[in-house]
Structure 1
């Protein structure tokens, strides 16, 4: 068996062979060989373990088969022995090792029946940022041995919570760890660099210039060639060249802070609740406190689609947070679903529709942009939306004044509360 491997493969194999980790997470730049190295490791496992089962997951089955399954096939095609060692079943999206009976299957999480029905020894979440945490948990609890994940770190999301787990390790890599990366790709990735080569350092995913953290106002000298050619792009360079997180240039909200939950609990302000409805999209419930001036404090309470639970939404909220109904706290809801709001009111909630009208979306966003916003450390889905909620881009790649209609459920709940309070308290912020 001949496998042309990179540094990433060697490090990955050592981590797996150590037996220390339940979960191996590979993140980093584009073309660093993250996914390819994981699949190469799977080839060796399928050849050496009897009746072993590996499932590779993407958010959609068609995407999984057209991308990751194609990569696996291409690995086998590089060696006649390897290719002849497996039987491919295209209709089932799987390869079976002739000698061991071990199977690798390529699936999508778009079918909840498949998620709940499959059991495996290893699961691999390719582009794990595409998955909701509840789907991830359903799959991992049916995974007997090891969980693999990979992603380009373009945003904060729920997997970051596992960084401190003893049985999980995060391993970073860049295209420079892949000696086989085509020179054309290397040139493109390096063309994103907005700064002069060799003038900055990256330590623990943070960029430093002369010993201080790079900020919007403190930066290394510019990369004259890339700036002149129009290819310099700070976001693209950080995410796809350096393999570290970066703030999207067209994101809607900026400057939000995080606070501990116990700090939120001690705040001496009235709690208001905001609710955005969803069937296949999440029902998004938040608790919000307003200081009466220009600061709001937010805690995420619920983030789950209606098709993921059998109970009514009202019963679910009452079971998890009975104080909302008991205290007759204001529950401010999406006014577009009047029947649902009326139903919650009939169940005993102080449920009211938010204030909407022509231009209320843009006006609501503009109002929140003027506020100082803090959210609790445990509000992981809110943090994800804060990172992702963005303006649409025009054909020239410039931001418009139209928000992208996704990654906005908890943000909408915040907007509902503040639109209601603004209307009834006559809040004015210059």
Structure 2
């Protein structure tokens, strides 16, 4: 096939139904939350190939949290879309680094991971404008500021008739994820936030549909999330035994207060304060401090202001920081830790209802997104992902005296 030849395709036959608004939207943020089998990734791939061939000055950046996951997801979906649209002779691609080129114009599809942010913020194209981006599996991005940093890569003046856009796709996730607040909880003409599910996928066969029917019958909670695409707790979440509340009136009555402290330099220093009520089987998380890039003197001031002379259990790996804070006047002792302490601490915390004051936004983000790692077959392990867990680690440290039956360290405010 020559690159100046034409082919006739009927898009509704190739794309199917259920995505008309998504396909036609031209605002800045085109966000799609979809269940398994909802064809959101395949539809997105078809749309990008179609639009790139329609707008000769546009280029596309494709992003996931981890760069190595792009090959078997977005890169493969885009190749599938090229073949489905019967335009394979007009495209070329390479795998090191991942890149696709539309041969008639030289337009590019570039692939990057958030694990190498410098390669995103400094990215440029030779032809036309980098005006489009696709963030796939956006729930993997736990911090909104990480998205904000790459959002700025789609910038600059573009010619009339072209438009800037992010397409953001992901499976349903915990309702406390920043994606819900940012894109689904507000009305903005520059945002289209849609939810799709397997019912709009006309290419599922009888076996596929039967799996969803059995899920609806036997596992209704999972069906609500994996089948209908509604917000819910992931099966890989470590903690599901927590809720939020306004604890401002209860604080003065807390009698068994405990404090945990995790240290950071560029990472945040994280102080958590909670009340333990053994008779109620409840833990009340009522205060947090979360800040990186500060001096030890500043950390002392902030912790002193909150915990005073109360006992604080700190990360034993930061022995020098603990010694210095004690010299300044705080009462900090190292956590015991040891082999298996993470799993034991998690299991212990899972045995209590954890009530979190709604103002503890960083802790809410961490506990919402804290997950078990997966093995190479996609099965959950008993090892949590060691990322964005500073306050959770501090909670484990602070609860050690209770876990192991030490003398209680809490005091009244």
TM-score, normalised on structure 1? 0.71
1:67-146 pair list within 5 angstroms = 67-80=73-86, 82-118=87-123, 120-133=130-143, 134-144=145-155, 145-146=164-165
In structure 1, the residue matched to 2:231 is: 245
Deviates more, 1:3-12 or 1:271-280: 271-280
Contact 1:52 1:101 in 2 (8 A): no
Deviates more, 1:347-356 or 1:406-415: 347-356
Question: How far did residue 77 of structure 1 move?
Answer: 1.3
Contact 1:264 1:297 in 2 (8 A): no
User: Over residues 288-307 of structure 1, what are the superposed CA-to-partner deviations in whole Å (9 max), with x where a residue is unaligned?
Assistant: 24276654224454387xxx
Question: How far did residue 384 of structure 1 move?
Answer: 4.8
User: Over residues 72-107 of structure 1, what are the superposed CA-to-partner deviations in whole Å (9 max), with x where a residue is unaligned?
Assistant: 011111233x22333324333222333444322122
1:16-27 pair list within 5 angstroms = 16-17=25-26, 19=27, 22-27=28-33
Deviates more, 1:31-40 or 1:110-119: 110-119
The 3 A distance-change label for structure 1 pair 54 and 255 is same
User: Over residues 337-389 of structure 1, what are the superposed CA-to-partner deviations in whole Å (9 max), with x where a residue is unaligned?
Assistant: 32343355567765432354677556644554454422233545533543455
How many residues were matched structurally?
Answer: 370
Q: Distance in 2 between matches of 1:108 and 1:250?
A: 22
Q: Distance in 1 between matches of 2:94 and 2:379?
A: 45
Pair 1:158 & 2:178 matched:
yes
Question: How far did residue 33 of structure 1 move?
Answer: 1.2
Pair 1:170 & 2:174 matched:
no
Q: Distance in 1 between matches of 2:250 and 2:153?
A: 40
Question: How far did residue 55 of structure 1 move?
Answer: 0.9
Unaligned runs of 5+ in 1: 196-231, 305-310
Q: Distance in 1 between matches of 2:52 and 2:380?
A: 47
Pair 1:51 & 2:57 matched:
yes
Question: How far did residue 165 of structure 1 move?
Answer: 3.2
Unaligned runs of 5+ in 2: 1-7, 125-129, 156-163
Question: How far did residue 190 of structure 1 move?
Answer: 2.8
In structure 2, the residue matched to 1:287 is: 272
In structure 2, the residue matched to 1:5 is: 15
In structure 2, the residue matched to 1:256 is: 242
Question: What value does the CA root-mean-square deviation take over the aligned residues?
Answer: 3.8
Contact 2:272 2:391 in 1 (8 A): no
Question: How far did residue 50 of structure 1 move?
Answer: 3.5
Q: Distance in 1 between matches of 2:214 and 2:259?
A: 47
1:320-359 pair list within 5 angstroms = 322-325=301-304, 329=308, 331-342=312-323, 344-345=325-326, 351-356=332-337
The 3 A distance-change label for structure 1 pair 191 and 61 is same
Q: Distance in 1 between matches of 2:36 and 2:42?
A: 12
TM-score, normalised on structure 2? 0.74
Contact 2:239 2:367 in 1 (8 A): yes
In structure 2, the residue matched to 1:189 is: 212
User: Over residues 185-229 of structure 1, what are the superposed CA-to-partner deviations in whole Å (9 max), with x where a residue is unaligned?
Assistant: 333333322x2xxxxxxxxxxxxxxxxxxxxxxxxxxxxxxxxxx
Structure 2 residue corresponding to 1:147, chosen from 156, 166, 180:
166
Q: What SS does structure 2 have at the residue aligned with 1:339?
A: helix
Contact 2:259 2:307 in 1 (8 A): no
Q: Distance in 2 between matches of 1:45 and 1:184?
A: 33
In structure 2, the residue matched to 1:297 is: 285
Give the structure, 1 or 2, with the largest relative contact order (CA under 8 Å, sep 6 or more): 2
In structure 1, the residue matched to 2:161 is: none
Q: Distance in 1 between matches of 2:400 and 2:199?
A: 49
Question: How far did residue 312 of structure 1 move?
Answer: 5.5
Deviates more, 1:382-391 or 1:115-124: 382-391
Contact 1:275 1:283 in 2 (8 A): no
The 3 A distance-change label for structure 1 pair 412 and 76 is same
The 3 A distance-change label for structure 1 pair 136 and 346 is farther
In structure 1, the residue matched to 2:406 is: 423
Question: How far did residue 28 of structure 1 move?
Answer: 2.0
Question: How far did residue 285 of structure 1 move?
Answer: 1.5
